[in-house]
Structure 1
Amino acid sequence: MNKFFSTTFASLAVLALSVTAPAFAASPTDSPSSRSDSDPANRPVIGLQYEGPIKVVYQCTRDEWKEGVSKPLLYLKKLRGYYEKQGIDLDQLDLRAVFHGDASTHILTDEAWNRVKNTDTGNPNTKLLSELKRMGVHVEFCDSRRQKEGWAKADIHPDVLLAAAAFARVIDLQHQGYAYIRF
């Protein structure tokens, strides 16, 4: 009896699909020239579909600058601002950046920056690092790289956390569900 009902149900499902299939066929008004998505001026913009929790980790290795500051730090600030403008509950947002490689100097204190760069200007990222901390963004630095460079822990900006090893930290965060972005 179960086999009878299963077979009958499957046959009815196929019949229903075949009867309703023509309703999905393109009509003359759905031609490419009449659809708004074929008009570049009227194409849709995809908005946010997922509201959280949102977890992101930036792996920051390149010595890139924009608007006079570290490009990954600036983009972290912009991403956080975007989510805020979209009405995302900031308690649902966890942004992190793990610095190492050529981007290592981006997270130095003013004094260490001056010493390493042989200047007296101070680190252009100092204000941005403190601002990101106030915004709830976590900036981390590879402690292995710090040791390799011969920098003291006090040379790292006080709002930056130390991670034992950058690659291992990024992998750990990915296993915790963080989306990965590379800079």
Structure 2
Amino acid sequence: MKPMSHFARKLFLSTLMASAISMPAIAEQPAPAPQIRIDVPVALKQAKVVFNLDHAAFSGDTPVGLKHMNLMLERFKQAGTESSLVAVFHGDAGYMLLNDEAYNAARKTSTGNPYKGMVEDLIKQGAQIEECVVTMKANKWGNENLLPGVKVNSGALGRIVQLVQEGYVMIQP
């Protein structure tokens, strides 16, 4: 096979590009939504939930626990479910409840706490957000280092046991 000359290659490429530009685009049809049948409907009159947040788990940059709490509160509100939601932060996730200054010091950054808006919104929706005193002592944090509205419990594990004994269901994202 004989190699193409420089002129022939240019002519071939320009013809190819011109034909690609002049070709009508094929409209992609969106796939129809699949049909879903609910076999087990869930209807809650009341829900008592404690989130055990002892580690940082993310979906992209969003903390999974904070996102799930928000989704759960929205769903409960839509369904008219009477609910009580408590989030117990401790261990490696304790830093998420720090104010901007304390967050910057703990995380060695200058961005401020990127989760404070989510935490504030959860508190506004009625969630009780708690920090473990053991975590605070281990990190040398005081109440003044926490976001407004965050409560301090006397120990995360005991608090979770207490809430479970009071009928709360524990979720650990």
Secondary structure, in 3 states, of the residue corresponding to 1:120? coil
Equivalent AA in structure 2 for residue 51 of structure 1: K
- Structure 1 stretches lacking a partner, 5+ long: 1-39
Counterpart of 1:62?
55
Deviating beyond 3 angstroms after TM superposition, the runs of 4 or more aligned structure 1 residues are: 40-43
| Identity level (%) | 27
Q: Distance in 1 between matches of 2:75 and 2:36?
A: 23
- Structure 2 stretches lacking a partner, 5+ long: 1-33
Instruction: Give TM-score scaled by structure 2 length.
Output: 0.75
Counterpart of 1:74?
67
User: What are the superposed Cα offsets for residues 28-83 of structure 1, whole Å, 9 maximum, x if unpaired?
Assistant: xxxxxxxxxxxx9564342223311x100010111112353322111101110111
Counterpart of 1:50?
44
Contact 1:144 1:165 in 2 (8 A): yes
Q: Distance in 1 between matches of 2:98 and 2:36?
A: 47
Instruction: Give TM-score scaled by structure 1 length.
Output: 0.71
Q: CA deviation at 1:152?
A: 1.8
Equivalent AA in structure 2 for residue 148 of structure 1: A
Counterpart of 1:112?
102
Counterpart of 1:132?
122
Contact 1:69 1:124 in 2 (8 A): no
Q: Distance in 2 between matches of 1:111 and 1:82?
A: 34
User: What are the superposed Cα offsets for residues 99-152 of structure 1, whole Å, 9 maximum, x if unpaired?
Assistant: 111111111111111111111111111111111111000111101110111112
Aligned residues: 140
